Structure 1
Amino acid sequence: MTLPQVPAVLVSTSVDTEAAALALADAVVADRLAACVHVAGPVTSIYRWQGAIERGPEWTCQIKTTPDRAAALIERIRAVHPYQLPEILVVPVVGGDPEYLAWLAESTAPNP
């Protein structure tokens, strides 16, 4: 995946339980793949799956990382995600508070 030259990216995913969301958040922060994860929910998701319209509760995870760590983060999400086809969206951050962005980069550095 090629990402633009930006200071940070937001990676979004959703899971079916609060426990799964918290486990995912703990894993990616512990692995230094994310500086921070906001977990919110439950929200109601409505989607088409295998030809049927589905509806159910989900918890969203908004994950903050750097472009350099995004590919490894995506692989880790896939490894721990409970869904067969997880939503994983990467959105570039075009700016932000310089001190926060420095903290984000430091928090996701592979070797502190």
Structure 2
Amino acid sequence: MAAPNPDVVVVTTTHDAEPAARALAAAVVRERLAACAQVYPVRSVYWWDGEVQEGAEWRVDLKTRADLAARLTAFITEHHTYDTPEVVAVPVVAGSSGYLAWVAAETAP
């Protein structure tokens, strides 16, 4: 493992349909706001409209530079169908130096 790297984050969002999640992931990568994305099914339990809800969703994990998190959040919010989409950034505390350098290079201006 490389030394801690506060410059890379994983931004997570969810979608209710796989095609929409994949389209969002592709759009974000195409815009160079993330180096890559993973899309996979999850089961979500959450409070909404005054009661506990449960449903299938598609999680999208996006790897990007920390300084792009605000722009990525704005992009997701603008292009999402949810009223209040989940957008959470988690710092990468360590990782392989080659991978972290790749993320930085693929999202460079």
Aligned counterparts, 1:38-49, within 5 A: 38-41=38-41, 43-49=42-48
Alignment of 1:38-77 (within 5 A): 38-41=38-41, 43-77=42-76
Letter in 2 for 1:8: V
Partner of 1:34: 34
The residue identity in structure 2 corresponding to 1:22 is R
Q: For 1:4-15, what aligned pairs fall within 5 Å after superposition?
A: 6-15=6-15
Q: Equivalents in 2 of 1:54, 1:103: separation in Å?
A: 38
The number of aligned residues is 105
Aligned partner of 2:20 in structure 1 is: 20
Cα displacement (A) at 1:7: 2.8
User: 5+ unaligned residues in a row in structure 1: which ranges?
Assistant: none
* Secondary structure in structure 2 of the residue aligned to 1:59: strand
TM-score w.r.t. structure 2 length?
0.91
Shift of 1:29: 0.1
Deviations 1:9-58 (A, max 9, x none): 011111100011101101100000000101001x2211110202211110
CA RMSD of aligned residues (A): 1.1
DSSP-derived class of the 1:13 partner: strand
SS of 1:26's equivalent in the other structure is: helix
Partner of 1:104: 103
Which amino acid in 2 is paired with 1:72?
R
Q: Percent identity?
A: 49
Residues 7, 67 of structure 2: 8 Å contact kept: no
- Which stretches of structure 1, 4 residues or more, deviate above 6 A after TM superposition? none
Gaps of 5+ in 2: none
